[in-house]
Amino acid sequence: MNNQYTSIFKDYTFKRGVTLKNRVMMAPMTNFASDEEGKVTDDELVYYKVRSGGVGAVITAVAYVTRDGKGFQNEISADSDEMIPSLKRLADTIKGEGARAILQIFHAGRMAPKEELVEDRPVSASEVAALRPGSITPRELTEREIENIIDAFGAATRRAIEAGFDGVEIHGANTYLIQQFFSPHSNRRTDKWGGTLEKRMTFPLAVIDKVKEAVNAYASNPFIVGYRISPEEIENPGITMEDTLSFVDVLSEQDLDYLHVSVQDFWQGSIRDDQDKESRVTMIQERVGNKVPIIGVGSLHTPDDVKKALDTGVPFVSLGRELIMEPKWIEKVQAGQESDIATTLSRKDQETLVIPDVLWSAITNTPGWFPVED
């Protein structure tokens, strides 16, 4: 291994006692590969198996905690005890290759696609449609329904524990339900669940409390609790960086193992103000990095990119597209073969890279997402 990359391979022990062998995680990426009931498939397991040998941890594609919160075709389910054997297959596959296994859990809220709806409308904090073509105006959740969803996050955490996962990541980012409660665009409530900035934190904090409650009740081994956050929204009104800095101040006091910042590029500035070029990841690191570990992500393609990100003080990075194109990214850096890391893919690579069919179709038919060579 090239000595300049030693920082990538330092181990780390989280406050709850789980140790990772290095500072790189596999980012959570939807792969559209479970069956219609939400059970993992053999194709999905092989996809994870080849990518779990080098990284310190794998954060899975998101799993829904209630059926009305399903956000994608062929998504993983964690909504009933019937799913525990399926989840165990996934955890065992990841851990069998040497990585820690973290199950990402969520509710899609108003972002649930029409073809996956249980009712005629999705649900959300308020009856406000997302600003995207074809969006359906959601139904406002009742207080009882809100409490039931919070309980569902706890139940999904218990299932992850029983399935043998090393942790869960609460998906509070990317415009899904938890973020919808924090956002002034999607949350227009005037009860205890909305209104002021502090009240818009109520639902996310209740979810965190319920997840921690499940960990305390059911986990006999150390178990990670992480939280993913999006720093800003483009909507007006929408989440501002000032809102987020206030929020991470509170999150840093919630006994979380980490905060995972969801952005397209580690170094990108504001999506609300083109003149503001300061990295949102480093802003959060500077604000609360001394209280809770931060995971950075986004367009970190090479070992030099990862080293530069870690040099900011952020203790972890997660890699997404990089591990799809190069499943052995970590192993090649460790072996001093960084020049052999694949940074593009061709239309003939699906079998070699063991990428499930629907994900492969998305990769090859979404211009600009991946560097696809003919």
- Residue 374 reports pLDDT greater than 80: no
Burial 103-121 (b: 16+ CB within 10 A, else e): bbbbbbbbbbeeebbeeeb
The residue type of 372 is: V
Catalytic: which of 47, 48, 64, 176? 176
Q: What is the pLDDT of residues 108-146, one digit of tens each?
A: 999 999 999 999 999 999 999 999 898 999 999 999 999
The residue type of 310 is: L
Q: Which CATH class is domain 3-343?
A: alpha beta
φ/ψ (deg, to 5) at 100:
-75, 145
| pLDDT value, residue 202 | 98
- Residue 53 reports pLDDT greater than 90: yes
Q: What is the pLDDT of residues 188-233, one digit of tens each?
A: 999 999 999 999 999 999 999 999 999 999 999 999 999 999 999 9
Taking Cα atoms as reference points, which of 14, 57, 5 lies closest to residue 337?
A: 5
What are the sequence ranges of the domains in the chain?
3-343
Question: Regarding beta strands 19-20 and 12-13, do their DSSP bridges make them parallel or antiparallel, or are they unpaired?
Answer: antiparallel
Using the 8-state DSSP alphabet, how is residue 47 labeled?
A: H
Q: Is 47 a catalytic residue?
A: no
Q: Are 285 and 312 in contact (CB under 8 A)?
A: yes
